[in-house]
Amino acid sequence: MKHIVKSLGLAVGLTVLAMQGARAEMLDVEKDELKFGFIKLTDMAPLAIAYELGFFEDEGLYVTLEAQANWKVLLDGVISGELDGAHMLAGQPLAATIGYGTRAHIVTPLSMDLNGNAITVSNAVWEQMKPHLALDDQGRPVHPIPASALKPVVEEFRARGEEFRMGMVFPVSTHNYELRYWLAAGGLNPGFYGPNDANGTIGADVLLSVTPPPQMPATLEAGTIHGYCVGEPWNQQAVFKGIGVPVITDYEIWRNNPEKVFGLTAEFVEKYPNTTLAITKALIRAAIWLDENANANREQAVEILARPEYVGADAEVIASSMTGTFEYEPGDRRPVPDFNTFFRHYATYPFYSDAIWYLTQMRRWGQIPEARPDSWYDEVARKVYRPDIYLQAARMLVEEGKARPEDFPFDSDGYRPPTPAADIIDGIPFDARHPNAYLDSLPIGLKGDQRVIGDRIEG
């Protein structure tokens, strides 16, 4: 790997030299040989960059990165200790800690990115949606495209006695919740989870099912699903293959929404505190590198991610979204500079409020079957999200001259300011300090003491 780091050195040399400053003593890490898991998605980039640019080695860590078959295999690997940590869906540590699916105390000292997902439909569905779209003066669809434009298509399917099916990557994935959010905002019920329905199809207008990210385009092409929500590069892949059209990005659903996290068991963090700090430092440095100088390093990052051991898609496909643009239809390329955000907007800080949004969505769709007081949401968020570790690592980087103090929310209490209505597609603001009031404000979803009993909502 050292020869790779040297070859990249010229590209980052000036930045590194400028940030060297004072050097703190290296942490005495308790475990220096580590194996981390990831799924082949663009947002695993901080892991690849920390490895390729030597940020892990700078912290005395010798890391192996290993692609995993799917999110369940990845989570099981972390729980069993086969993996020391992993690129995770933000919902996975939360769900495991509250015992939804697999029970295990997983924590995260770092969020890996903001945004990065999109919803894609097949060409045939897109053609059916077009008559229901508003157009700009150039004849292009006005964005964001609401799910209300999909509703007549779903109704046509129902009239023919056909099911409308869409894919997402995992029951507690951001993709599941974003897809559900978009559908519900357009008047389509994505279904509820219940004691007898682990697929979340109770009362559903649209049936959602799990498909591993790299398999999304092929599953769409085969006609098994009519659309999907996934991270990059698998939406842009549909455009390049000519089989589908991304209709909306998650940036348009909820501006600067949290995405992946880096997950570790609570046992690992307790047993190896210095190692945990060292990992966090290396990943923060990678995130800084990915966003610095107005994304100047993204082309280099694309070349790395395109390698088969990482994402393994064509560089042109990865670059289509990774370098500040997004292509909806062939030729309809629009600027989305924050589509992939790794450090700006405090992207790496593990906010309690981000955790609480995921928990509200679990409750909204029945994965959390019973009402919980607002205090419960805060308590769970604090068990899983560890800004204390993050800020300790950030202070060390500042002392070493490798980061700027103004880039970290050192005075934060762990909560973002409420998300304004203008930043969310349904115009409903989100205040994490009042999760139950937020749930009550959503037109589709469980509220108050409501529960799923059999195939209906009671309460």
Residue 259 confidence class, pLDDT cut points 50, 70, 90: very high
Per-residue confidence (pLDDT) for residue 26, from 0 to 100: 87
Q: Could you read off the pLDDT of 346-381 as tens digits, one per residue?
A: 999 999 999 999 999 999 999 999 999 999 999 999
With 60 as the cut, is the pLDDT of residue 260 above it? yes
Count of other CB atoms within 10 angstroms of residue 459: 12
Residue with the bigger pLDDT between 26 and 265: it is: 265
Q: Which pLDDT value is given to residue 25?
A: 72
Question: Is residue 406 scored above 60 in pLDDT?
Answer: yes
- What is the four-CA torsion angle of 431, 186, 321, 357, rounded to 10 degrees? 20
Q: Which residues contact 251 (CB under 8 A, 6 or more apart)?
A: 115, 257, 336, 338, 339
Q: Torsion angle, CA of 201/368/107/82, rounded to 10 degrees? A: -50
pLDDT attached to residue 84? 98
- Give the strand order in the sheet containing 85-89: 62-67, 33-38, 85-89, 260-265, 106-111
Q: What percent of the chain clears pLDDT 90, i.e. is strictly above it?
A: 94
- pLDDT for the residue numbered 216: 96
- Model pLDDT, residue 24: 56
What's the pLDDT score for residue 8?
39
Phi and psi based region of residue 69 (left: phi greater than 0; alpha: psi -120 to 50; beta: remaining): alpha
What residues have CB less than 8 Å from 268, skipping those under 6 apart?
84, 85, 275, 276
Q: pLDDT (tens digit, 9 = 90+) per residue, 14-46?
A: 344 344 444 557 899 999 999 999 999 999 999
Phi, psi of 182 (to 5 degrees): -65, -45
Q: Which domains does the chain have, with CATH numbers?
A: 2-114+259-350+386-407 (3.40.190.10), 117-256+419-429+439-458 (3.40.190.10)
CA distances from 96 to 64, 211, 306 (A): 25, 20, 31
Q: What is the mean pLDDT of residues 304-311?
A: 98
Confidence of residue 3 (pLDDT cuts 50, 70, 90): very low
What's the CA dihedral at 104, 90, 188, 126 to 10 degrees?
A: -130
Tell me the average pLDDT of the chain.
Answer: 94
Q: In this predicted structure, what is the pLDDT of residue 139?
A: 92
Q: What number is the average pLDDT over the span 47-76?
A: 98
Residue 294 banded pLDDT, cuts 50, 70, 90: very high
